[in-house]
């Protein structure tokens, strides 16, 4: 994935997984870009807890 596409994916993931977080703040001071790197790796699942994995699978149109 290209960086811009990965950032869009990460932003959508954040909206679903962390709905109470301010994404703009996370981009400046949080760990948004750690997640960008995880998605760039092609294996973000390796860094996901059960809730994150559930959200990621939903984003991909897969069930649990």
Residue 57 CB contacts under 8 Å (≥ 6 apart), including other chains:
63, 64
pLDDT at 63 over 70: no
Asked whether residue 64 is assigned to any structural domain, the reply reads: no
Structure tokens at 55: 């959200």
Examine residue 26 and state whether it is found in any structural domain, yes or no. yes
Which residues have a Cβ under 8 Å from the Cβ of 8 and sit 6 or more positions away?
none
pLDDT of amino acid 2: 84
Closest CA to 57 of 22, 7, 20, 17: 17
Range of the domain at 18: 3-59
pLDDT digits (tens, 9 = 90+) for 22-61: 999 999 988 899 999 999 999 999 999 999 999 999 999 9
Rg (CA), the chain: 11
Query: What is the pLDDT at residue 14?
Result: 95
Kindly state whether residue 50 falls inside one of the protein's structural domains.
yes
């Amino acid at each position: 994935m290209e960086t811009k596409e990965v950032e869009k994916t990460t932003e959508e993931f954040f909206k679903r997984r962390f709905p109470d977080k301010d994404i703009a703040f996370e981009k400046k001071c949080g760990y948004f870009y750690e997640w960008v790197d995880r998605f760039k790796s092609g294996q973000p699942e390796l860094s996901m807890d059960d809730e994150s994995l559930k959200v990621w699978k939903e984003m991909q149109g897969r069930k649990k």
